């Protein structure tokens, strides 16, 4: 049971998920709501506070998103971030105008009031600003808490309404003291107790699964990734032999991956795991196909066929378990009754920074093959989604609590289409073997160097380009393998990992010497955006 909650109202911020994660990192449960969520709905929740997110609009525009003004009557503290500050101040009588000097990037914040929000901070600190509008003439009800060189009202407090506003982003890593600011808001202002613990989540989720499922059988698609593995472990703890897992071998897995999954879940955890070898069907369907989206569609369609072929054989199966996470819920848009909003509108440039990474339609299309698509409706299944309230880092904590091996809990993300989208061009058995060998060397050397946990995701890509080389005093004309490794906290933005040259040298040397058909290795040093993490 959730005993205290911070409601985050979404005005279109690209950082909305990051705000929610930052709150949860302080052991306080947070949930994202659409900007126009009703006060009546909010009043039914165990609210300790509200955060108004940033956003791309200007509050003085006719169609600017707004919230119910009665939120100030709920009696809980409210923190406005960037657009959220401007909106809250405007609703309480302040004026917001285009700034003479806009602030984008790092700014030096001078703190003038250290009673609550900035109580533990030094007099000067760096913050990340991203705004073209500013609050001016706020009126008698406001107290100035901080300022920058070009923004006189960089942080405010309203004396009567328990409203706080900051004209910068405490949720991003570029604001070094941001975690302290949020912690002060949560604990000193909102008086949160910090009772959001994974042990409580696991206990409540196990009870919830048992209530939902009864004596029916639940089918879980198991890929070996952290999400599906944690779902399977949670379900097994809740319902034991009522769980049946299905692993579809699409022929696009990493080397020895199928055997490792079987060993872990069937032999160690004693879970009923069925393996469907559909590799020949996948590779036959992919023959001659080079267009990335077409490959994804084929892989998705074949997965459904393979999964159905086994699922229809399982008696009393009424439920299908999926590893849906909270970011998936936010991005795809949940049913209104769930109280979870779709992600808000695209940027129009007023609050600048990274561009929106994708439209929701595009994101949904890319992710379609990652789960079971239309299977619930086709088979008449009800969904079980025990992780739908969690972020990826929280899922890893649950996995550790459940006793899953580190190799699974801390496994790097692996795409649903597998190596099929890491081979640029046609997917063939020969090209798969080349990439499997290169991928194995990459991961082995990163682990040997002690870098696997610090790198967010590492992968090898087989490029459809042959280059001239010299091997054994003879001319060669062979494949190029690209290495990609990134550091990120949320996978929305990422920077390339600064792997030491000696490690890169070892990786390159081993791949060229040990993988027949490769004579060149390159390292991808692009960031996201503009590049995505995967190449296809």
Contact indicator for 312, 219 with CB cutoff of 8 Å: no
DSSP E strand boundaries for 337-473: 382-384, 457-471
Among residues 4, 171, 257, 440, the one annotated as catalytic is 171
Report how far residue 196's alpha carbon sits from residue 2's, in angstroms, rounded to the nearest whole number. Answer: 8
Q: Which residues contact 536 (CB under 8 A, 6 or more apart)?
A: 292, 295, 421, 422, 424
What's the Cα-to-Cα distance from 268 to each of 108, 244, 245, 249, 258, rounded to whole Å? Answer: 54, 15, 14, 20, 15
> Is 426 annotated in the active site?
no
Contact indicator for 198, 397 with CB cutoff of 8 Å: yes
Find tokens 């107790």 and name the residue: 193
3-state secondary structure of 52: strand
Among residues 67, 103, 151, 169, the one annotated as catalytic is 169
Q: How many CB atoms lie within 10 A of CB 108?
A: 11
Q: Which residues contact 508 (CB under 8 A, 6 or more apart)?
A: 483, 521
> Is 82 annotated in the active site?
yes
Report how far residue 332's alpha carbon sits from residue 137's, in angstroms, rounded to the nearest whole number. Answer: 40
Tokens of 134: 């500013």
User: How, if at all, do strands 495-496 and 47-52 pair?
Assistant: unpaired
Report how far residue 226's alpha carbon sits from residue 401's, in angstroms, rounded to the nearest whole number. Answer: 13
Q: In what order do the strands lie in the sheet containing 243-249?
A: 272-277, 243-249, 217-221, 317-321, 382-384
DSSP 528: B
Q: In what order do the strands lie in the sheet containing 155-158?
A: 29-34, 5-10, 47-52, 78-81, 163-166, 155-158, 142-147, 95-111, 124-136
Contact indicator for 379, 216 with CB cutoff of 8 Å: no
Contact indicator for 478, 467 with CB cutoff of 8 Å: yes
> Is 270 annotated in the active site?
no
3-state secondary structure of 191: coil
Q: How large is the angle between the packed helices 226-239 and 392-401, nearest 10 degrees? A: 50
DSSP 499: -
Number of helical (H) and strand (E) elements in the chain, helices listed first:
16, 18
380: buried, middle or exposed (CB in 10 Å: 19+, 13-18, 0-12)? exposed
Q: How many CB atoms lie within 10 A of CB 164?
A: 26
Among residues 67, 82, 151, 245, the one annotated as catalytic is 82
Report how far residue 67's alpha carbon sits from residue 37's, in angstroms, rounded to the nearest whole number. Answer: 7
Catalytic residues: 82, 169, 171
């Amino acid at each position: 049971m959730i005993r205290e909650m911070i409601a985050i109202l979404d005005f279109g911020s690209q950082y909305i998920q990051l705000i929610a994660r930052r709150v949860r990192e302080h052991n306080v449960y947070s949930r994202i709501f659409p900007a126009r969520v009703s006060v009546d709905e909010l009043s039914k929740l165990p609210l300790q506070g509200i955060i108004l997110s940033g956003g791309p609009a200007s509050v003085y525009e006719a169609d600017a998103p707004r919230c119910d003004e009665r939120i100030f009557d709920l009696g809980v503290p409210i923190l406005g971030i960037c657009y959220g500050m401007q909106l809250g101040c405007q609703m309480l009588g302040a004026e917001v105008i285009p700034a003479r000097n806009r602030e984008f990037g790092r700014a030096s914040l001078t703190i003038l009031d250290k009673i609550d929000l900035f109580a533990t901070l030094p007099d000067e600190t760096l913050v990340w600003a991203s705004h073209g509008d500013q609050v001016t003439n706020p009126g008698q009800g406001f107290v100035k808490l901080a300022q920058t060189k070009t923004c006189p009202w960089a942080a405010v407090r309203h004396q009567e309404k328990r409203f706080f506003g900051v004209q910068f982003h405490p949720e991003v890593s570029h604001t070094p003291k941001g975690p302290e600011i949020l912690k002060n808001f949560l604990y000193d202002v909102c008086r949160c107790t910090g009772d959001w613990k994974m042990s409580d989540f696991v206990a409540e989720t196990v009870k919830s699964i048992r209530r939902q499922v009864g004596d029916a059988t639940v089918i879980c698609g198991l890929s070996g990734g952290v999400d599906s593995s944690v779902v399977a472990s949670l379900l097994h703890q809740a319902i034991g032999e009522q769980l049946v897992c299905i692993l579809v071998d699409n022929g696009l897995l990493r080397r020895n991956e199928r055997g490792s999954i079987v060993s872990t879940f069937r032999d160690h955890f004693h879970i009923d795991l069925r393996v469907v070898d559909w590799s020949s069907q996948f590779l036959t369907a992919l023959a001659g196909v080079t267009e990335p989206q077409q490959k994804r569609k084929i892989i998705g369609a074949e997965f459904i066929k393979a999964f159905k072929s086994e699922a229809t054989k399982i008696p009393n199966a009424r439920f299908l378990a999926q590893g849906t996470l909270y970011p998936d819920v936010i991005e795809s848009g949940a049913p209104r009754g769930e109280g979870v909003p779709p992600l808000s509108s695209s940027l129009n440039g007023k609050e600048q920074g990274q561009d929106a990474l994708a439209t929701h339609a595009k994101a949904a299309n890319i992710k379609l093959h990652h789960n079971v698509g239309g299977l619930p409706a086709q088979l008449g299944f009800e969904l079980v989604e025990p992780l739908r309230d969690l972020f990826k880092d929280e899922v890893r904590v649950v996995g550790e609590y459940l006793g899953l091996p580190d190799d699974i809990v801390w496994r790097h993300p692996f795409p649903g289409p597998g190596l099929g989208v890491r081979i640029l061009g046609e997917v063939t058995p020969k090209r798969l073997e080349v990439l499997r060998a290169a991928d194995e060397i990459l991961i082995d050397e990163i682990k040997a160097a002690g870098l696997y946990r610090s790198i967010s995701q590492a992968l090898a890509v087989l490029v459809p380009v042959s280059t001239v080389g010299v091997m054994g005093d003879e001319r060669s004309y062979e494949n190029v393998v690209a290495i990609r490794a990134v550091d990120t906290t949320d996978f929305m933005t990422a920077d390339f990992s600064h792997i030491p040259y000696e490690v890169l040298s070892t990786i390159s040397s081993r791949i060229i010497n040990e993988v027949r058909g490769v004579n060149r290795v390159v390292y991808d040093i692009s960031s996201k955006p503009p590049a995505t993490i995967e190449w296809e």
